[in-house]
Structure 1
Amino acid sequence: MLILQLAIIIVTAKIAGSLSVRLGQPAVLGQLLIGIVLGPSFLGLVNETETLAEFSQIGVILLMFIAGLETDLDEFKRTGKASAYVGLGGIVVPLLIGYLAGITLNLGTFESWFLGLLLSATSVSISVQALKEMNQLQTREGTTILGAAVIDDVVVIIALAFLMSFAGGDVSLTTVVLKKVLFFAGAILIGWKLVPWFLKKFSTLKDSETVISSALIICFVYAFLAEYTGVAAIIGAYIAGVAISVTNFKGEVFEKVETISYAIFVPVFFTSIGVTAQFAGIGENLGLITVLSLIAIMTKLVGASLGAKWAGFNWNSSLGIGAAMVSRGEVALILAALGLESDLLSQDMFAVIVVVILVSTIVTPPMMKWFFQSKSKA
């Protein structure tokens, strides 16, 4: 059954992506939408399974690994200040407005702060693909977005640890922070000293494609360690890509990993986001979903855009950066599941939030297209 589902996903994702491009939109938008059509809410040709979820996880990890390979490290260092402004601006505004929205909905104090944190999360995996299609990934704007995503992930997770410790959860704040410090310190040290040595040594083995195998080993180990320490796996994969980008193996790794990824794993990731959508009972909460979706989109757009403007970008670039930070994607889904497990989200609110996350993810590519096209014309 999995083999047939993969065949259906790949053929429909490629056709939907092509149609989306013909209509002037990023291909990723078509792949997200076709996932909804294929899923149980409509045709039911593809169902959410654990194996499909694992394929999807590999897809997003490889996507962010490729983004790391394409990162200009010197530009990344130059945009550090801008990334901090964008990341923090994109957290503060959704956090405060989300908290106020929770209070308005008669949620408790901790539940309201959790809603704010949930709306502060960002997943730029969708944005990365849109940036690639628009040839913006290696620009100052693209590098700023990637840096801001790293900052966003770390700050939101640490803030969540604070919240859960105050809410009575079994969370050691010191352990949470220490794990993240150790991960980033270790990731940088290993990337500087061990990664080039490992690539050089492993590539000499008398077997085929050892360079690509060694690169994927590094990618997956970084992703695992990131997830183990409470940082998103995609951040670990991105850092692994950056580490390899400064070696002589960058060109060969990029070419072959991109081929592997876009042939199967990345289309499965984009499509599976739509497949997981559940619309049962949506009519009963349509008003709430609409309001929260508008809050999710506008707060992240405004907060991140203001951060970019303060960092010196013009308004077109600032709005493009803000739009790229709107997608909540798989990061927010993970946080929502954690909230449900910790009783910070009710079952009904969880169902609403999942749809809101899907809406924020779907609107991101066309918004980016609009603002970055305006930037090009300016």
Structure 2
Amino acid sequence: MAFLGILCLILVTTLLAGHFSRKLGIPAVIGQLLVGIVLGPAMLNWLQPGTFMHDFSEIGVILLMFMAGLESDIGLLKRYLRPGVLVAVVGVIFPMTLVTLASFLFDFTPLLAIFMGVIFTATSVSISVEVLRELKLLDSKEGTTILAAAVVDDVLSVVILSILVSVTGEATGGHTPSLAVSFIEQILYFVGIYFVVKWIAPFLMRLSERFLLGASVTIVSLVICLGMAYLADFIGLSAVVGSFFAGIAVGQTPYRAEVDHNVEPIGYAVFIPVFFVSIGLEMSFKGIGDALWFIVLMTVLAVLTKLVGGGIGAEMAGFDFNSSYTVGAGMVSRGEMALIIAQIGYQAKLIHPEYYSAIIIVIVLTTLLAPFLLKHAAARQLKQHQAEQTIK
């Protein structure tokens, strides 16, 4: 029953860290990420990554993205799909090119250098979603574009990763069909999403009212969420893609407010704090001196390539500078998506073992910096809006 003590420690420390972060005027998620670094292998070593941490953090990020889907305006998502595609494509090209070229400075082989680029094409907006929720910008045009871009970005990263793993001929275990089969499965999955949103989710949510349980509506919504997340993961997409679209599907029903009201305490009281702490646990200072220049260069490139690439994509879609800056900042975070890709690459022998810890450090540092950038961008945008209102 040691996990009960671990969970208690996480909840107490993240509660305090989130509270004092808010008092200092920084996003609460930063304090929760720092808890993982302080309590984890990097410093005190009271907590270690393990099955319990992994499973709870997976549920946490799934619930976080489910709530993001619930709060998303599907009309806005359709409206900003084109900007989302532009942001995603340019935001993939920049890191793919520049990080790959920079990797040659450290004597990486062409295949390993390309995989370094793949790692940093991935965007994990779960951190950005939390900051956007905190700033009440999740349903803005910038927040909607970030969410749309993240879905496209995820698909592009998975396709590129599948090609690389197929080229190496290394099986990574689990469900690993050929590239063609995997691509067809993913196309069918996105076609299936239409049917879920249009008919399946509304039918299941209406059916939930017939069960003689007070929480039946919430339970059925979670079944839809977890089921779509599982199927997405099974065919090679990120589980968060499935949970996000599950949130959109449930959000189009009359039960949206009830589900959001009931799921939010479940997520934020238990699972989501574990997810944020788990990212901090990946940090390790072992061998940091030998790979210091690698860490510095890759961190700078990881931040700038998404910030500039995403921002250029937004400008191409007609956004002004401050809006483009906000969108670019929202795409910087790598989080669990980059960690998953790095782990797959390590198992497939696509990463130098001596650089693996350094890559994890870069991913965590980038994830820590992202909320600060996003908050700064949002503050600039707010000042611009206030100035425009004053002129009017």
Please give the TM-score of this superposition, normalised by the length of structure 1: 0.98
Give 1:363's aligned residue: 369
Look up the SS of the partner of 1:123 in the other structure.
coil
Give 1:207's aligned residue: 213
CA distance in 2 between counterparts of 1:243 and 1:220 reads 13
Give 1:323's aligned residue: 329
Which of 369, 380, 390 in structure 2 is aligned with 1:374? 380
Deviation per CA, 1:79-115: give whole Å up to 9, x if none. 0111011111110000000110122222111111111
Deviation of 1:354 (Å): 0.4
Give 1:275's aligned residue: 281
CA distance in 1 between counterparts of 2:185 and 2:102 reads 32
Q: Does 1:295 align with 2:301?
A: yes
CA distance in 1 between counterparts of 2:137 and 2:189 reads 29
Look up the SS of the partner of 1:284 in the other structure.
coil
CA distance in 2 between counterparts of 1:203 and 1:4 reads 37
Give 2:129's aligned residue: 128
Spell out the pairing of 1:177-196 with structure 2 (5 A cutoff).
177-196=183-202
Deviation of 1:17 (Å): 1.0
- Name segments (4+ residues, structure 1) moved above 4 Å: none
Deviation of 1:230 (Å): 0.7
Letter of the aligned partner of 1:286 in structure 2? Answer: L
Deviation of 1:283 (Å): 1.7
Deviation of 1:163 (Å): 2.3
Give 2:7's aligned residue: 6
Deviation per CA, 1:34-90: give whole Å up to 9, x if none. 111111221222222201210111000000000000000001100011101111111
CA gap 1:135/1:337 in 2 versus in 1, 3 angstroms = same
Report if aligned partners of 1:69, 1:250 keep a CA contact under 8 Å in 2. yes
Deviates more, 1:340-349 or 1:359-368: 340-349
Give 1:310's aligned residue: 316
Spell out the pairing of 1:240-251 with structure 2 (5 A cutoff).
240-251=246-257
CA distance in 1 between counterparts of 2:150 and 2:180 reads 23
Q: Does 1:118 align with 2:119?
A: yes
Look up the SS of the partner of 2:43 in the other structure.
coil
Deviation of 1:316 (Å): 1.1
Deviation per CA, 1:172-200: give whole Å up to 9, x if none. 22112111111111122122111110111
Deviation of 1:292 (Å): 0.7
CA distance in 1 between counterparts of 2:355 and 2:182 reads 27
Runs of at least 5 residues in structure 2 that lack an aligned partner in the other structure: 172-176, 385-392
Report if aligned partners of 1:203, 1:214 keep a CA contact under 8 Å in 2. no
* Two-structure CA RMSD over aligned residues (Å): 1.1
Report if aligned partners of 2:197, 2:252 keep a CA contact under 8 Å in 1. no
Report if aligned partners of 1:48, 1:275 keep a CA contact under 8 Å in 2. yes
Give 1:71's aligned residue: 72
CA distance in 2 between counterparts of 1:163 and 1:88 reads 18
Aligned pair count reads 378
Deviation of 1:367 (Å): 0.7
Q: Does 1:332 align with 2:333?
A: no
CA distance in 2 between counterparts of 1:268 and 1:338 reads 22
Give 1:104's aligned residue: 105
Letter of the aligned partner of 1:309 in structure 2? Answer: E
Give 1:153's aligned residue: 154
Look up the SS of the partner of 1:21 in the other structure.
helix
Deviates more, 1:44-53 or 1:210-219: 44-53
Report if aligned partners of 2:146, 2:331 keep a CA contact under 8 Å in 1. yes
CA distance in 2 between counterparts of 1:99 and 1:245 reads 40
CA distance in 2 between counterparts of 1:166 and 1:235 reads 25
Which of 215, 220, 228 in structure 2 is aligned with 1:222? 228
CA distance in 1 between counterparts of 2:295 and 2:20 reads 28
CA distance in 1 between counterparts of 2:365 and 2:209 reads 44
Give 1:255's aligned residue: 261
Report if aligned partners of 2:99, 2:117 keep a CA contact under 8 Å in 1. yes
Q: Does 1:351 align with 2:350?
A: no
Report if aligned partners of 2:282, 2:361 keep a CA contact under 8 Å in 1. no
CA distance in 2 between counterparts of 1:302 and 1:238 reads 26
Look up the SS of the partner of 2:49 in the other structure.
coil
Deviation per CA, 1:138-190: give whole Å up to 9, x if none. 10100000000000000111112222223334562211211111111112212
Report if aligned partners of 1:301, 1:326 keep a CA contact under 8 Å in 2. yes
Deviation of 1:31 (Å): 0.7
Deviation of 1:203 (Å): 2.5
Letter of the aligned partner of 2:143 in structure 1? Answer: G
Report if aligned partners of 1:2, 1:52 keep a CA contact under 8 Å in 2. no
CA distance in 1 between counterparts of 2:22 and 2:316 reads 33
Deviation of 1:311 (Å): 0.9
Look up the SS of the partner of 2:289 in the other structure.
helix
Report if aligned partners of 1:86, 1:303 keep a CA contact under 8 Å in 2. yes
Letter of the aligned partner of 1:217 in structure 2? Answer: V
Deviation per CA, 1:107-146: give whole Å up to 9, x if none. 1111111111111111000000000000000101000000
CA distance in 1 between counterparts of 2:264 and 2:279 reads 20
CA distance in 2 between counterparts of 1:347 and 1:106 reads 14
Give 2:39's aligned residue: 38
Please give the TM-score of this superposition, normalised by the length of structure 2: 0.94
Letter of the aligned partner of 2:140 in structure 1? Answer: T
Runs of at least 5 residues in structure 1 that lack an aligned partner in the other structure: none
Look up the SS of the partner of 1:121 in the other structure.
coil
Q: Does 1:81 align with 2:87?
A: no
